[in-house]
Structure 1
Amino acid sequence: MKIEPYLFFDGRCEEAIEFYKAALGAELLFMMRNSDSPEPPPPGMLPPGSEHKVMHASLRVGATVVMMSDGRCGGDTVFKGFSLSLGSPDEAGARRLFDALADGGQVGMPLAKTFWSPLFGMVNDRFGVGWMVSVSVPAAA
């Protein structure tokens, strides 16, 4: 069994895809717009003008697949109560990822040495998604 995050971007999914491709080197695996659906949505499910919004997309970030959508475009997207953890094999990589995610976002905890990692920091990106960035320390033998 595995858990894959599914994020709803309230009409900004395509912007998020491009941001994560640039910031994290994410690879777009699949994207379908509402207008591409083989079945129409139930009446009233989507607001007018959302026909070309993203119904579903999958991104590969490293070895992880992150699924995403524009959702119902109802103004109710709030990313709260979780963070995505992102490990880098070295400090330079952690700094690059952290700085890229912080561009247009808000730093909650600047990158700093902790007792569990040479560098660890927390940031909410420009979409409000929480990230914990750290240098991955190899497990003890």
Structure 2
Amino acid sequence: MKATPFLMFQGDAGPALELWSAAIPELEILELARYPSGPQEGQIASARIGIGGSEWRLYDSPPMHDFTFTPASSIFIDCDDEAQLRRLAELLGDGGQVMMPIDNYGFSQLFTWIADRFGVSWQINLPLE
């Protein structure tokens, strides 16, 4: 058995993937298929990506929905150093929302919780040494 996080977008999967690829150089695109024609032409029909040893799936849903992402589900990233944390926070947070600004909250050296401009929530952490 294998469990894989699955993120469903409504037309923004491609731009989200571009942002994440720019912010996280280690991100690997393992599979990418786009809708060849129709109203969703060029949008992502299926994608598999690898980040930090985990695999995710994402796609653009053909039907529109009344829901999107919520901060109750988030991507938690442990960074290697402060520069990496600040870079990720700046790039992923551009046009998004800061729920907890970069600070020492006692459970780590530095931490921030943001939602990117696509509504995907990221907890970015610099673990205690």
Q: Given the two structures, how large is their TM-score scaled by the length of structure 2?
A: 0.87
The structure 1 segments of at least 4 consecutive aligned residues displaced by more than 3 Å after TM superposition are none
Structure 1's 53 and 77: CA in aligned 2 closer, same or farther, altered over 3 A? farther
Residues 86-126 of structure 1, C-alpha deviation per residue, up to 9 Å, x if partnerless? Answer: 11021111111111111111111101112210001100001
**Residue 78 of structure 1: aligned partner:** 68
Instruction: Name stretches of at least 5 consecutive residues in structure 2 with no aligned partner.
Output: none
Pair 1:90-2:81 in alignment: yes
Q: What TM-score results when the alignment is normalised by the length of structure 1?
A: 0.80
Name the larger-Rg structure: 1
1:34 aligned residue: 35
Report sequence identity in percent: 34
User: Would you say 1:115 and 2:106 are equivalent positions?
Assistant: yes
The alignment yields a C-alpha RMSD, in angstroms, of 1.9
* Structure with the higher strand share, 1 or 2: 2
For structure 1, which runs of at least 5 residues remain unmatched after alignment? 37-47
Amino acid at match of 2:75: L
After TM superposition, give the deviation of residue 4 of structure 1 in Å. Answer: 2.3
Shift of 1:20: 0.7
Indicate whether 1:65 and 2:55 are aligned: yes
Q: How many equivalent pairs are there?
A: 127
